[in-house]
Structure 1
Amino acid sequence: MSTSGTSKHLQEAPDGGWGWLVVLSSFLSHIVVPGTLKSFGVFFPYMLQAFEEDAESTAWISSIQAALTMFGSVVAGALSNVFGCRAVVMAGGLVAAVGLLSSMFVTSLPVMYLTAGFITGLGFSFMYTPCITMVGRYFKKRRALANGLGLSGAGVGTFAFPPVFQLLIDHYGWRGSLFVVAGVALQGCIFGALLRPIYLIEDFENRKTVTSNDEKAPSRRRCFSLCRLLDLSLFRKPYFVVFILSNMLLIFGNFIPFVHLVAHARNVGTGAQEAAFLISVIGIGDGVSRIAYGWLSDLGLFPRLRGYTVCALGLALSVFFLPQARTYSTMVACCLAVGLFAGSCASQTAVFLAEFCGVGRLASAVGIAYGIQGFAMLFGPPIAGRLYDVTGNYTASFYVAGSVVMVCVLMLTSLEVHRTRTISQLTNVLPRTHGITENTESCDFEKDTDERTHDTCTNDDFIMHESSV
């Protein structure tokens, strides 16, 4: 498992062992972070009354919180490269708890933007992405299943937290409830401690390459150090760029229902409790599909990217049909479909990032990808709200959300077509040039173009399996 001079570096991910505790840490992280983000709207009417501001201004609290959770992922990824994922997650638990505790005493909305929005969101970002990164480092063959198990916590939190938050508010008021939520966020110090570092041979090889580059250009070492910290060279990978942009569009369409679905349901005559339960229905479908689809995709029964594209198409159609659902049963069916397709897509994000960028650069890749998602979470709900102000209903809002996800589908389809054609060409060339066996199905086409000096790849470049193509 190790090589001379790198006795602590494993050749590949162990696919088990302590990794299952890392999956547990990711599961708990997703209960706390996405569960709180998607359920924080329970506090909205009480904050609206307390601060005596308009709905649009008050809604920015949740938008800033969710956006900072994603934007901060870039910083979290960079810090994880320096201090390790364990320390970053534990620090995030402390920061989020401080933000929520300080929000108990806030009396003005702008300060609430800072405490409940900025500080809490930044803490959540530190708790969130490093857990996803560590699962990808501990698993290879069962990476999709492990990610699905970890990410399924989001469905559990989305299902359980809304009624729990309401119960707390009924007993302790919204300010007292924030004290309890802060205690939940503080548990990041506990599940963060489970993220035991793992050292792979790929880390050692990447470090040697970086050191060699620094020695060749010492005058640019400072610039290289900054780029290395954020790993901005990932933007030179076309597949990575296309994937994160398409993922941002998918999140744009997926996040709008969490903000406006309850209001839409009540507008068409649904009761308050029944309308709130629709969010829990999405959470049920989301949690189940993250596990089930993660396991299914690891079986290799279908090309992974094609399956992801089909799920994105299903999400787009489900959001499209939401405004047409006029009975409660059809609303439940649409919400269940939204949860199932959204959860299936979510279980594959870290898997594709690991395959496109490599496990050694996964922390930066996850940080950048989730940071880009912050734009969707920041601007998606206000845009949908503006459409409601203009039209007087949420029909246009859901149509726009579905259309944006459809653009994501078109981008993914183009990516799949290009990869399939490239692989087909290489499989015809490589056996004649290098004698590659039939077990070699695909190639890492994301090698930086300035590093490629040959027209064909070697055996070491073939890291993408047929199920991923």
Structure 2
Amino acid sequence: MLRRRTWVEPERRTVCPKPPHAETRTAVRRTANHIRNRTIPLKNEQRAAPSTWRQLRMQFPSRRHSALCGRGEEEDFHLRGEDSSYRQKCVSTAIERRRVPTAACVKPTCFRRRSLKLGERPSEDARFPGRETSGPVERQQRWTLNWHARGPPAAMTTGLLEKKGSSAAPGQQANPYQDTFRSWVVGVACAWNFFWLTLVNRSSGILFVAILDVFNVSRQEAAWSFSLIDTLASFTIIVCSVVYKVVDTRELSIIGSLIVSGACMLCFLAFRVQVITVVLGTIIGIGQGMMYFCNTIVINQYFKRHRASGNGIYFAGGTLSSFFFPPMLFSIINTYGLRTTLLFLGAISLNAIPGSMLLESPYSRMRRIDRHKKLRLVAVDNECTPEKIKLPVERAGNSNVEEKLERWFRSQLAVFAFLRRPIFYVIVFTGITFSFSFVVFPVTIVDFAISRGVARHRAALLLTSFSTGDLVGRLFSGVLTDRKLLRKDHMMVLTYAVWSAAFFALPVCNSYELTFAVTVALGMAVGSGGIFNTVLLADYLGVRVMPTTFAMYRMVLGIISLIRPFFIGYFRDRIGTYDGLYFLLGAYSFLIALIWIVISIVQYSRGTKKYNLK
């Protein structure tokens, strides 16, 4: 522990007359040096930074400082060490009159030239440099490190947390787990969870063709089961945003894993096209919705600086499943049939449970640690007697109840303040492109290649080529934006320009090799754009309200996704080709690219680094 040096009040103190201007500066300098070289007891066992007190003393020399604080000059020059309330009053008065900068703009120097975050504990070798010495330099270093370790005084923290609304709300403890080693562990756990619970989606092209062959139904009817998965998942996210207030993400993720596995096994027991459409589309959609909600909320809570990279790792888990399972499922279906394949999918989906056990929200973890600390408090004797205890009785009218209800109603409406932000609707329109492309293309690409005369085993490899580009886009696009090599709006323009060009080029491909290359390029664009939708929600609308913003975002996508089977059935069953569908998706992607070009121009003209579209 640090040695505290206490200052003993001198036995005798003379009251000096008002000194001249030069003597006043000398006295202020002596007082600042005296305060710097000793520990000042403050409220809540906090200690002040020497640079802060030095600025305070230089801002208030002699008369002006005494007039603000209400004491004489002789007491101003000889401050007593135990008078902490007097110093608190000086600092508070200075902040209120805007004569001293608040703690948000105070930047004290730090030992070893590494700035520690507020609340971060320095290492042992950094906290006790030169322990055997007691010179002014060593004391200054310990002062600065103690300032970083314990934080500023209570009166100096005004406006600090309020300015960082996305990471720390007023009156709430900041998140100490952001961008730590545990953040990357949680990112890998989300990828593991996403890997096993999206096998049906990633193998949708193989299952789509198998349902057409086994049950002899139209393509519109076969596409309903895969479209309902995304729709039910979107509406489940809305329910999870409410349940999240009482149930943690870890429990929700475990329940979702069990639901997905049980739904696949239920399709094995009741092997009918109606049951597969309902069970595969609704029950699996509910389980995947719980998984999407938990992974998205947790990954954005654990990351701030490397948020795009963390989301890239998370989404890469689903991409990796496309490398191995489509060719494997194609062989299993040819050997054992579709019914046994569904049982196999249900069994291996249980592997997602170990990853779900690590998806504990950081705020729930902090509350659990605080409860454990409170349980360790040592009990003391209760000196109160029944005669001494008097409970106050409050008498209030109905007007207070009405005021509380009105305040509660206003606070609930404030949660939906993001609906007035135009950037939210831009993100929603961008997400519609991703929702259509990410579901329609894997479902139709195998059937599209077979209609062009490609063999089935070679057509199944197009899903692998799409996943290869998807993985590259998800991993490297986040690195480019996190390292400030490319801004997010520029990345969105580049992504959707390539996206549009790939969809326009796909119908005109004359060879299998050219189709293979286009699917790789499309996968890179889809992977790059897919991770930024939730990142934009977290960066520009806040992490605290992300359960609500993500729920509204997914609700719109769920409603729009209901028309996907009609598009697939219209272009393939009536027109006879998917060319028109791909041209339509390319045109819409080009429109999204134009919107992001406008946003980039507006942002560049304003010369700011944040979206402030009003």
Decide which of 569, 587, 602 is 1:385's aligned counterpart.
569
TM-score, normalising length: structure 2: 0.62
Q: Deviations over 1:201-252 (max 9, x none)?
A: xx9xxxxxxxxxx985505847966x68xx5443222211221122213432
Whole-Å Cα distance in 2 between the matches of residues 358 and 389 of structure 1? 44
1:368, CA displacement in angstroms?
2.8
| Superimposed CA distance per residue, residues 58-103 of structure 1 (whole angstroms, 9 cap, x where no aligned partner) | 2211221233233423333333344222121111112212222211
Tell me which moved more, 323-332 or 364-373: 364-373
* Corresponding residue number in structure 1 for 2:227: 63
The reply on whether 1:126 has 2:310 as its aligned counterpart is no
* 1:13/1:140 contact within 8 Å kept: no
Asked if structure 2 preserves the Cα contact closer than 8 Å seen for 1:44 and 1:59, the reply is yes
SS at match of 1:14: coil
After superposition, where does 1:24-39 map in structure 2 within 5 Å?
24-39=188-203
2-structure distance, mates of 1:12, 1:27:
22
Aligned to 1:255: 439
Identity of aligned residues (%): 22
2:276 to 84, 105, 112: 112
Distance in 2 (CA, whole Å) between partners of 1:164 and 1:216 is 63
Q: Partner of 1:22 in structure 2?
A: 186
> 2:240 maps to what in 1?
76
2:612 is aligned to 445
Equivalent residue letter for 2:444: H
Q: Which residue of 2 aligns with 1:100?
A: 264
Q: Deviations over 1:178-208 (max 9, x none)?
A: 22211233333321111122129xx9xxxxx
Tell me the amino acid that sits aligned with residue 451 of structure 2.
N
Range moving further from structure 2, 96-105 or 65-74? 65-74
Distance 1:137 1:382, change over 3 A: same
Please name the residue that 1:374 is paired with: 558
| Structure 1 alignment gaps of length 5 or more | 204-213, 425-440, 450-469
Which position in structure 2 is the counterpart of 1:429? none
SS in 2 for 1:187: helix
The root-mean-square deviation of aligned C-alpha atoms, in Å, is: 3.0
1:39-60 CA-partner distances (Å, limit 9, x unpaired):
1332334434544433322221
- The gaps in structure 2 that reach 5 residues or longer are 1-117, 120-150, 155-168, 368-400
1:324 aligns with 2:516: no
Amino acid at match of 1:368: M
CA distance in 2, matches of 1:238, 1:90: 36
Note if contact 1:155-1:283 (Cα within 8 Å) is conserved in structure 2.
Answer: yes
Q: Partner of 2:488 in structure 1?
A: 304
Q: 1:217 to 1:191 in 2, by over 3 A?
A: same
1:141 Cα offset (Å): 1.0
Q: CA deviation at 1:259?
A: 1.8
In the alignment, the residues of structure 2 paired with residue 356 and residue 103 of structure 1 have an alpha-carbon distance, to the nearest angstrom, of: 42
Matches within 5 A, 1:152-167: 152-167=316-331
Amino acid at match of 1:124: Q
Change in CA separation of 1:262 and 1:223 when aligned onto 2, cut-off 3 Å:
farther
The one-letter code of the counterpart of 2:320 is V
Would you say the 8 A contact 2:257–2:352 is kept in 1? Answer: yes
Displacement of 1:379 in angstroms is 2.2
Query: Is the alpha carbon distance of 1:109 and 1:217 closer, same or farther for their aligned partners in structure 2, counting shifts above 3 Å?
Result: farther
Match of 1:218?
A: 405
Distance of 1:107 and 1:153 partners within structure 2: 29
Say which is worse superposed, 375-384 or 174-183, in terms of deviation. Answer: 375-384
CA distance in 1 between counterparts of 2:593 and 2:546 reads: 24
Q: Quick check: 2:175–2:362 contact (8 Å CA) kept in 1? A: no
Higher relative contact order (CA 8 A, sep 6+): 1
| Equivalent position of 2:357 in the other structure | 193
Provide the rounded CA distance (Å) in 2 between the counterparts of 1:412 and 1:251. Answer: 18
Higher helix share: 1
TM-score scaled by structure 1? 0.80
| Aligned equivalents of 2:218, 2:526: Cα separation in 1 | 31
Aligned residue in 2 for 1:353: 537
Residue 414 of structure 1 is matched in structure 2 by 598
Which of the two has higher C-alpha Rg? 2
- Is the CA contact (8 Å cut-off) linking 1:96 and 1:119 kept in structure 2? yes
Q: Letter of the aligned partner of 2:347 in structure 1?
A: G
Structure 2 SS opposite 1:177: helix
- In 2, the alpha carbon distance for the partners of 1:72 and 1:107 equals 25
